Structure formats: structure tokens, C-alpha cells
Chain A
Amino acid sequence: MMAKSKTINRSSSRYIYMFILQKLLTYLLIMFGAFTACFILLRFVPGDPLGTLLTSIEQQYGWRLPPEDKARIISEYKRMFGLEGSILEQYILFLRRVIFEGNLGPSLISFPTPAQNLISRALPWTIWLLGISTILSWLIGNILGTLVGWKHGSKTDTVITAVALCLSQIPYYYLALLLVLFVAFTLGILPAMGAYSAELAPSFTPEFILSMLKHTILPASSLVLVSACGWLISMRSLIISIQGEDYLLFAVAKGLKKNYILMKYAFRNAMLPQVTGLAISLGFIVNGAYLVEWIFNYPGIGYLFVTAINLLDFNVIQGILLLTVFTVLTANFIVEILYPILDPRIRYWGK
């Protein structure tokens, strides 16, 4: 047994490279497959965004285009949007543009602004809102979960767990609606629309930052309230399961102080899966909260996506879908690679 583990150790760096290479290949393959799937999905959904747009413009201005002009406009647009030729030609053009040029094509509604500009303008807001709420809920949930789990069976534990169980069942976007209703409208304390007040221009003045923080509180708390409860419940279970472990019994038998055991034994061991969980949810940031942004008119990716969906803004929809797929798959890949580092019980080699 000893001899065997030694040989494994000696050649373990080779296993690590093999492992990473294997994961990398799978990752690239899946990414390629997912991009192709997105392309196919978007070409084959029924509907005629260009025709719809032209009709709505016609209705708006009250005159009709001659059909030959209409056909010319549509074919010109199709050229610009890369919708010409056979499906195969379109596919090659799509891959060339997206992967090598990073060009997602012009937006249909905010023509001719390229879709990637719209997306990169919205992205910082989403990263800020989701980043801060993910980290906050993680901290709150884990701290409360540890305390409650440590004293499980007590009255506080029963009450807090029951409340958390119910609260975690409320879809976060309904909680957002309730917050708008009670805090923004009834109490009128906090703003419920946008990311900063309309009369200010984005800058690094204290005034702007204060307004930005104020506008973050409500959307962030709707996310934090729900997901902190999820973290709380899982942390509580982890702490309780660790309390049944032999090494904890041994620590108690050694006469160590209760708080020392909590911090050094229970908390540290329970943190492992939670850190991994945090890494995964940070990876999902980009597609985290479409609906919260929509409800609060928060100018992030989600708001852009919902607006684009309602106006059938083809390139923006496609861009956001590709971005989401890319970030989620990449986050998953990174977590898979880092997992054995985070948790020494999992090895790069063997199953």
C-alpha cells in the first residue's frame, strides 16, 4: 500500500498535466458545440425580426414602402447582419466574426452601434450588482449558518431555519417586486429605478458614488435575502454533519475550548464546499439576475437582454447568449481544475 502511494506521488505532476489537458480539450469541445447550438437555435426559431421592424416603422409613420424598396432594404440589412447565403456560409461567417474578430454585428434597434459595445456598456453594472450581492449573501449566510448549526435544536435555530426555509422559496424577482412596493413606494426611502439618479453623469465624484450605492441597495437586497438563506441552510447542514465526526469528538475529549473547536475544526472543514460554491456562483454572475435588473430598470446585461427580446434585436440577443454560455462554461472549467487544490481529498489522478 505504501509503495503504491509513493509511485503515484512521484509521477503525480504528469497526472496533473494529463488531467488539465483532458479537461481543457473537453472544455473547448463543449464550447464549440454550445456556440454551434446557439447559432442553430437562433437561425431556426421562426419569426421575422426585419419584417416586423419595417412594418412597425410603416405603421408609425403612416405610409407604405413600395415592395421592391422593401426587398432592397431587407437584403441590404441581411448583408450587414451576416444573414446572406446558405446556412453553411452564414455559419463560417459567424465563427469568423465572433471568434476571431470579437464582432457580434450591429444592433438592430440602436443601429449602427455594434452589439458588443452595448453589451460591454452594460456588463460593469451587472458585475457590480451581482458581485456585491453574491459576496454579501455568501458571508451573511455562512456566518449565520455556522452559528445556527452549532446550536442546532435550540429555539433560535428552529425559528431562523424555518424563516430561512420559507424565504428561500420566494423567487427573488417577486421579493424585488415586494421591496419596490413597500420600501420604495410606501416608505419612499430608497430609489427603485435605474443605477444612479438621472441628473448625475457617471463620474468618480462622492455625490455620484453615493447615489450609485443608494440605487444598489434595493436590487441587491432582494438577491441577498433569498440567496443568503440558501447558503445558511447548506452551511448549517455541513456544521451539523461535522459535529458527528470522530475528530470533533476527539477534540472535545482533549478538552479544547468550544469556540476554538468551532473555529479551527468545524468552520474550517465546512468552508471547503462553500468556497467551491462561491466560485461557481461567481461564474454564474452574468446570467444571474435578468429579472431583478428588469424590475429595477437597472442598466445591466439582464435589462439589455429583456429589452432586446421584446424588440427582437437579433445580434444583441445572440451576443448575450454567447457571453452567458462562455462565462458559465469557463467558470465550470476553472472550478473543475481548481477543485483538487481546494479539497486535498480529491486527487488529479484516479477516480
Chain B
Amino acid sequence: MNIRLENIQRFLAPLRYNFKLKIGVSIFLLLLMLGIFEPIINKFIIGGKNPIEIGLFKPLLPPSISHILGTDMWGRDTFAMLIAGLKYSLTIGLLAGAISTLIGVVMALLSGYKGGIWDVSLNGFTNLMLVIPSWPILAIIAAYVRKIDIVTMSILLAIFSWPVAARTIRAQVLSLKERAYVDLARITGLSDLEIIFLEIMPGLLPYIGVGFANSTIGAILAETGLELIGLSPGNIVTLGLIVYWCMQWGVLSLGYPHLILAPILCLVLIFLSLNLINIGLDEVYNPRLKKITGM
């Protein structure tokens, strides 16, 4: 228990002194809060109605106090839609990120810790998945399946984004299992599972964090890409879908740039914050890297 508490403290301590990690986590938490409290915000600004219901307000109102970002072509409050889109985009991204990290961790532990034939086959498979162009395949599946719900979408995205996480984590498993304290645990007679969860896992956590952030970025990128060509999960609004609608209406030529800029800004903030978390984690747990890259 003692060791565990120490680990948590050690895990959180970098937040205090690493600037990039601090900024990244703050932006991401802010976005996450907006997403989580979407129903409350929604109630406050449009009275709890479905943000994608058509014709709630007059179309194309300019930004004002009652509609912070104005309304769109179909008379919907852009801000309410933006927050809802943020919620669903983050849900899909985080769910896909979690699934692919899980696959990545299992693959990495099997191939890195077990070694031998496990390593040859699983690592080969990971490398094959890394070079196969995944986005076109995703687009094909999404085009044929048409009606996709959030969970199916996340699983599909995860299937194609786990290899990056697996590769990062495997390298770390390879290095960790050679440490003296792992040898010691093995001599003491701990089982493989005990060694993995008690000895290796704590050292692996930052890398799992990096893998998770990377897969989440990859998943959201792939998903918005699919939406840009009109392949979106039905019945919900996501940030990518708002951009797609704006393109379809020709918002560009009509002169309502804020309608399309707001969702793009949100997405860029998601990517930026996750990447800052990534770089921050790398700096904290790879002190040599800071010296090398100087960033």
C-alpha cells in the first residue's frame, strides 16, 4: 500500500514543475469539463433541447448575448452544438484511445515480456499494421456499413490505431524486464502475472499515458477525416460533422467564417493539449531527452 501511494505521488508530482504538462493538462481538463457538463450548459443556453434539432431559432443570426456564436443555416445555436460536438468527439476519441491502448499493452507485454516466438510473430504483426494504409480501409468499412454507432466507431478506430501504442510500450517492456529488481522478483519466486503487475507496470505507466494520448489523437484525426467526406456515425453531432455541414452549405463563400472556425479551433486545442501532455511526459520520464532535443 505504501509503495502504491508513493507511486501516485510520484506520478502527479511532475504536474507541478513541468510547464508543458501543466498547460496541456489544463487545456485538456477544461475541454473535458465542457464536455462532461454539456447537459447543464445546454439547459442554461437553449433550455435542454436537442442541439441538432432544426429550426429552433432564426437561421444565421450573428453572435449576440443569447447566442454567443450565433446560429447556423438551419437555425441551431452554434455554441450549444459545438459543446455537444466536443462531448461526442472526445467520447469517441477517448473510448478508441482506451481500447487501442488496452490492445497495445496486451500485445506489448506478450511480445516484450514473453519474448521468443511470441515476440517474432506479434512484433511482425505490429510492424505490418504500421505500414498498412489504415485510413482508406477505415473509409471503405465506414462507407459500406453506413449506420455506425459511437461504440462501433470507436472499436473500428481502435483496431487501426493500436500499433503505435504497442510499439512504444514494447520497447519499454524490453528495457524494464532486464532491471535488477525484476530479476530479484523472479528469484523470489513471484509468478509472471505478479511480476508484470507489481514490478513492471508502475514503470510502464508514463509510457501507457503517452500511448493513450497518441492513440486518442490518431483516433480523433481519423474520425474527423471520415466525417469530412460525409461518413459519420448517425444521430449525433461531432466537431468534424459541424465542419462538414459548414462545407456543404458553402459557409466559406457566404461569409460566416466563425461557424467553421469554432469547431476547427476546438479540434486544434484537443490535439495541441494532448501533444503537450505527450511531450511533457516524455521530458519528465526521459530526462536525457530534454538535454537532447532542448525543447
Contacts and interface: CB of A to CB of B under 8 A. Distances in A.
Interface of A: 30, 33-34, 41-42, 45-47, 149, 152-153, 161, 165-166, 169-171, 173-174, 177-178, 180-182, 185, 236-237, 240-241, 244, 287, 290-291, 294-295, 305-306, 309-310, 312, 317, 320-321, 324-325, 328-329, 332
Contacts of B9: none
B268 A306 contact: no
Contacts of A295: 228, 247
Given A171-B225, A177-B247, A309-B140, A241 B128 contact: no
A332 B127 CA distance: 11
| 9 nearest A-B pairs in the assembled complex, by CB-CB distance | A47-B144, A45-B144, A237-B293, A169-B271, A240-B294, A241-B292, A309-B143, A287-B133, A169-B272
Interface of B: 128, 131-133, 135-137, 139-141, 143-146, 221, 224-225, 228-231, 243, 247, 252-253, 255, 257, 260-261, 264, 267-268, 271-272, 275, 291-295
A288 B243 CA distance: 21
Contact of B135 (A34, A180, A290): A290
A241 B293 contact: yes
Interface centre among B221, B229, B267 (most CB of A within 10 A): B229
B257 A181 contact: yes
A113 to B, nearest CB: 21
B133 A171 contact: no
Given A177-B247, A237-B294, A309-B231, A321 B135 contact: no
B153 to A, nearest CB: 15
Nearest to A162: B295
B109 to A, nearest CB: 23
Contacts of B268: 166, 169-170, 174
Contacts of A332: 131
A30 B264 CA distance: 38
Contact of A328 (B131, B141, B228, B243): B131
Given A240-B293, A241-B292, A177 B144 contact: no
23 contacts: A34-B128, A41-B137, A42-B140, A47-B143, A166-B272, A173-B225, A174-B243, A174-B268, A177-B252, A177-B264, A185-B252, A185-B253, A185-B255, A236-B294, A240-B294, A241-B293, A291-B228, A294-B228, A295-B247, A309-B143, A310-B229, A312-B144, A325-B132
Contacts of B267: 171, 174
B292 A321 contact: no
A244 B292 CA distance: 8
A328 B129 CA distance: 12
A291 B144 CA distance: 19
Contacts of A329: 131
A328 B134 CA distance: 11
A328 B133 contact: yes
A45 B143 CA distance: 9
Nearest to B246: A177
Nearest to A38: B137
A306 B292 contact: no
B292 A309 contact: no
Contacts of B292: 237, 240-241, 244
Contact of B145 (A47, A320, A324): A47
